[in-house]
Structure 1
Amino acid sequence: MPPSRYPAPSTWSRSLRGSASNANFLSVTGLGVKYTGPGQEDAQAASIRADHPVPADCGLYMYEVKIISSGKHGFIGVGYAAPDVALDRLPGWDGHSYGYHGDDGFAFTSNAGKGQNYGPTYKDGDVIGAVLNKAQRTISFTKNGMELGVAFSNVSEEVLYPIVGMRTPNEQILANFGSSEFISDLRGLQDDAAKQIQSQLQAVSVPTKGKAGSLMGELAFNYMLHEGLLDSAAAVARDVLGDVVQVTDQDRQQQQAQHSIQAAVEAGDVDEALRLTEAAAPGLLTTEPPLHISFQLKVLKFIELVRGKQDEAAMAYGRAELSKAAASLPDQEELQDALSLLAYDVPEASPCGNLLSPSHRAHLASSLTSAISVRQGRPAQSAIHRLLCHSVLLSEELTAIDSPAASLINMKDRLAEITNGPAPFQ
């Protein structure tokens, strides 16, 4: 999961230890808490909550409590509570409060001491994990790393704090808010929560019919056509879409032209690339925004002269062409990077040596062919590429408004897993 934008619980809040009469019943030392009160009746219970609530953008949160001593009767409660819950009672004995109690293993919430049978009791040495799944609106617990299942469903409170309460002498706990390794498998819990959301997403029905028949067939055809896989696109059109759409002669001519332009750029033959571009899309490189690509091609020509150790020719070309063409700030910055190559005996080893790499030429070739596609009336990206972009942007917007489900699924990471590599866009 990405780091939270909000402060997370890190210790106990000393200023919120209960009512005036019960505040001194808890001795707090760092993450440790000990009950020192008389512990003769329920009214002498005392609870303490963390310094911060569970972060709003955290889809699944867990903290753990180690039972140092169960004291006289082990009336210890571990759970979550809203900020307005009284702290002179055990967790779960008031509304908007949830607790798992060690003396009987019951789960309590808003029932004035009437809990539900939930899990095993706990005693000295046991470690209890409290898991808040905001995406599924549940609270569950673990004991010594073992998952005990959902204790509370339909948890609707927007703000909840980790909370621990005690009631009889010498009860003592030590909390872990993540400063040390958990006994429970937090990553596994997060993965399970993400799988639940993915399962829910996959269960949503989507249209299967498009304008030409199969929606998936149309997306596949559009992608193959855009990527220049024309024989495959023609097969999909024939076998899946019933020849409602076709690969035209114009498609093949445009593909061949783009392949030639891409090959020229990747070979560093800028003059040939410019000639082919003018033939395929007349006037393209004299308009905005492709005008910057035109400057990049001129810089590439300069770089190729440097690569060929033709420094004098490179400097003459730079004075005659590049200095006049660098109109914008990005152009000027790119020009300075290219000129810096002349200062090194081995330009490839310079800080801007990446300008001499095949990947730099490939990126420029892709930008140029994309601009040509737009000039010819075709989208710069395929339909499925745009859908993926929209999915990532939607996920990021949901995360920005603290959607618990979105915080559990990073769309870029998911796409990288699906494609066994980086996401197909940035």
Structure 2
Amino acid sequence: MSTTTNDVNSNSSGGDLGRYFLERSRLGSARGPCDMDEDEEAPTELNTLNSSGGFLVMSPDKLSVKYTSVNLHGHDVGVVQANRPAPVKRLVYYFEIFVKDAGTKGQIAIGFTSENFKMRRQPGWEANSCGYHGDDGMLYRGQGKGEAFGPTYTSGDIVGGGINYASQEFFFTKNGAVVGTAYKELKVSLFPTIAVHSQNEEVHVNFGQKPFAFDLKEFEAQERMKLQMTIEKISLPTNVSHGIVRSYLLHYGYEDTLGSFDMATKSTVPPIYIAQENGSDEHDIVYALNQRKVLRQLIRKGEIHDAFDKLREWYPQIVQDDKSATCFLLHCQKFIELVRVGALEEAVKYGRLELAKFFELPGYEDLVKDCVALLAYQQPKESSVGYLLEEAQREVVADAVNAMILSTNPNLKDSCGCLHSYLERLLSQLTACCLERRSLNGDQGEAFHLHKYAVKRPCLGYPICNNVGFLGKIRVLSISLLFSCFLVTVIRFYRVSHLKFSSWLLAKFYVNINLDRILSHEEMIVATAEGTPIPNFSVEEDERARSNVVKNT
């Protein structure tokens, strides 16, 4: 199931879903930069230590080598590796060599070898290596016998070697054009490697310090397009995405946006039926829609006192226990709003009256301290506790109240549904499965981060541009949903049989990616849009989701 199933059950049994949102609020203090890219050190030069130095001379800049000996046998090859292995957390890695002089025999090779490769042999002649050789144009993959691969290369040619982690293939180029590809069976760290083996052979290496002859960016774009084309060829039931997006709006109480959404799609979308399986009954999330909308709007405006009054009037059971996590979040937000408007004396009084009682309670002390610390700064927004003044914090409180109201539904069938919409559970499962698939490739390949494909949801501190209309945000949702189709491709082509999904979740994977055609009346939607946030998951949730998939299957 989703990443938070176990958390939900533990919170539900305690009768206070607010504790889940207490943890969400706590994530704000640990939040780092929005950049989700994984930094890896790439090769920058040749390794002077791990080379057959007796047979070659390396330039002072460590970017060119020359064979100065006379080859007598197959164990006097001049081989040198890069100073670092090829990075693995990316779509493609690539480097090039320029053959300045092919020497007497042109026995030059380019390829990849493992760390313990025998440094007197051509890449591809030994296990855990692969090499494209210039004298015969053959590809060698761990055996002495080569296989027909491409043209030979000589003086003046630029030859490149790369790893396509998406397809798990080696590929080689000559003068800017791909020569061929070969399946990469090796899951170990591989070092870019060059070899020279006849007198006066000289090559220069380019690790990216200057432009490549090969258009690497175009190659990466084509690889991503291949994935997109594969997805688009999948047969999809009509208009399923309409139901998923609609359930998202219902879950979070965006009543006005929902009305505009329904109005805009009446003329273009025929009535659809979403299977009511595994607790996906719409009645659960239609419950108290208007009240939830009103309370969300009050909290997002910072009108916490009015939100308290409405809760006492409509749902007194939620605020009956004044020491509950939900009440704590509301009291904290009231204190924060007072600091925001500069009413510091009133904030101090309110803190003594309402926050002091939480100080000694387990699980609250750190957040109480963060709130109080706002008073110590002349510019609290720029302080280490400035996250409390972000719109994200209001969203956490609004989501907590929303979940608590949903939990009061006497006909509630699925307590897990109070925390996350079906869309969010789908995207969480998608992320988990992509992480699991990547692990099957030895954790090699571009790391999957949902954040790269969707505008960041304010609840975790990644604000959406206020100028973006609701249609634009739904288009971003459609991009995220597009990647759920990618998982169908994974199951079909990689046959990951141990990833089993419920029939409800499988139905959700089949998404109509042509959402733009559904939402044809942009002006109508934008006119009443409520700034609907995009679902988002923290890295911690992504990792828990992955482990949960493995455990449950």
TM-score (norm 1): 0.76
Instruction: Say yes or no: does 1:390 pair with 2:429.
Output: yes
Matched, 1:424 2:538: no
Aligned length: 411
Post-superposition offset of 1:127: 2.7
Q: 1:68 to 1:2 in 2, by over 3 A?
A: farther
Offset from partner CA, 1:96-149 (integer Å, 9 cap, x none): 54332334544444674655251352313x3321012243232222234x1224
Residues 89, 299 of structure 1: alpha-carbon distance in 2 compared, 3 angstrom cutoff: closer
More off after superposition, 388-397 vs 234-243: 234-243
1:158 to 184, 187, 193: 187
2:310 matches 1:276: yes
Cα deviation 1:327-366 (Å, max 9, x = unaligned): 4476444444444555677877877666556664444223
Cα deviation, 1:65-91, whole Å, max 9, x if unaligned, reads 222322233221112235565444433
Name the counterpart of 1:116.
148
**Deviation larger for 256-265 or 356-365:** 356-365
**Aligned position for 1:78:** 110
Q: 1:135 aligns with which of 166, 173, 176?
A: 166
Distance in 1, Cα, partners of 2:186 & 2:439: 19
Within the candidate set 98, 101, 104, 1:66 is matched to: 98
Moved more, 370-379 or 73-82: 370-379
Is 1:298–2:331 an aligned residue pair?
Answer: yes
Largest Rg, 1 or 2: 1
- Are the counterparts in 2 of residues 348 and 354 from structure 1 also a CA contact under 8 Å? yes
Match of 2:214 among 184, 188, 203: 184
Q: Secondary structure at the match of 1:364?
A: helix
| Between 235-244 and 295-304, the greater mean CA deviation after superposition | 235-244
Structure 2 residue corresponding to 1:34, chosen from 66, 88, 99: 66
Within 1, Cα distance between the matches of 2:428 and 2:178?
39
253 and 409 in structure 1: CA distance in 2 versus 1, 3 angstrom threshold: closer
Find the aligned partners of 1:347 and 1:308 in 2 and give their Cα distance: 12
Structure 2 stretches of 5 or more lacking a match? 1-35, 456-474, 481-532, 538-553
Letter in 2 for 1:31: L
Q: Secondary structure at the match of 2:454?
A: helix
With a CA cutoff of 8 Å and minimum separation of 6, indicate the structure with the bigger relative contact order. Answer: 2
Q: How high is the sequence identity, in percent, across the aligned residues?
A: 23
Q: Contact 1:341–1:353 at 8 Å: present in 2 too?
A: yes
Name the CA shift for 1:119/1:148 in 2 (closer, same or farther; >3 Å). Answer: farther
Aligned to 1:170: 200
Cα shift at 1:323: 1.5
State the match for 1:47 in structure 2.
79
Change (3 A) 1:243 1:325: closer
**Does the CA contact (< 8 Å) of 1:54 and 1:161 recur in 2?**
yes
Structure 1 pair 3/308, CA: closer, same or farther in 2 (3 Å)?
closer
1:168/1:368 CA distance change after superposition, 3 Å: same
Partner of 2:351: 318
Instruction: State the secondary structure of the residue aligned to 1:142.
Output: strand
| Structure 1, 62-71 or 346-355: larger mean CA deviation | 346-355
The 5-angstrom pairing of residues 256-275 of structure 1 reads: 256-275=290-309
State the 1:258 CA deviation: 1.0
Determine the C-alpha separation between the residues in 2 that align with 1:371 and 1:4.
40
Secondary structure of 1:78's partner?
Answer: strand
Partner of 1:380: 419
Q: How many Å apart are 1:163 and its aligned residue?
A: 2.2
| Pair 287,351 (structure 1): closer, same or farther in 2 beyond 3 Å | same
Aligned to 2:516: none
Distance 1:176 1:410, change over 3 A: farther
Maintained 8 Å contact 1:293/1:368? yes
How far apart are the structure 2 equivalents of 1:157 and 1:350? 48
1:285/1:191 Cα in 2 relative to 1: closer, same or farther (>3 Å)? farther
Shift of 1:254: 0.5
> Matched residues in 2 for 1:255 and 1:318: separation?
32
Query: Which residue matches 2:483?
Result: none
**Aligned residue number for residue 99 of structure 1:** 131
Residue by residue, what CA displacement relative to the aligned partner does 1:3-45 show, whole Å, maximum 9, x if unpaired? 366x654544455545xxxx62222342322111113666654
| Aligned AA (1:188) | E
Distance 1:359 1:201 in 2: 33
Change (3 A) 1:113 1:301: closer
The Cα shift of 1:238 comes to: 8.0
Are the counterparts in 2 of residues 138 and 150 from structure 1 also a CA contact under 8 Å?
Answer: no
| Structure-2 separation of matches of 1:58 and 1:141 | 18
Matched, 1:414 2:439: no
Show structure 1 runs of 5+ residues with no match.
none
Distance 2:58 2:274 in 1: 75
Matches within 5 A, 1:346-361: 355=388, 360-361=393-394
User: Matches of 2:389 and 2:90 in 1, distance apart?
Assistant: 44
3-state SS of 2:311 partner: helix
Q: Cα–Cα, structure 1 residues 25 and 384, in superposed 2: closer, same or farther, change >3 Å? A: same
State the one-letter code of the partner of 2:426. L
The 3-state SS of whatever aligns with 1:239 is: coil
Q: 1:243 and 1:112 mapped to 2: Cα distance?
A: 58
Task: Assess if the C-alpha contact under 8 Å between 1:270 and 1:297 holds in 2.
Answer: yes
Q: Give 1:308 deviation, angstroms.
A: 6.0
Alignment match, 1:222: 247
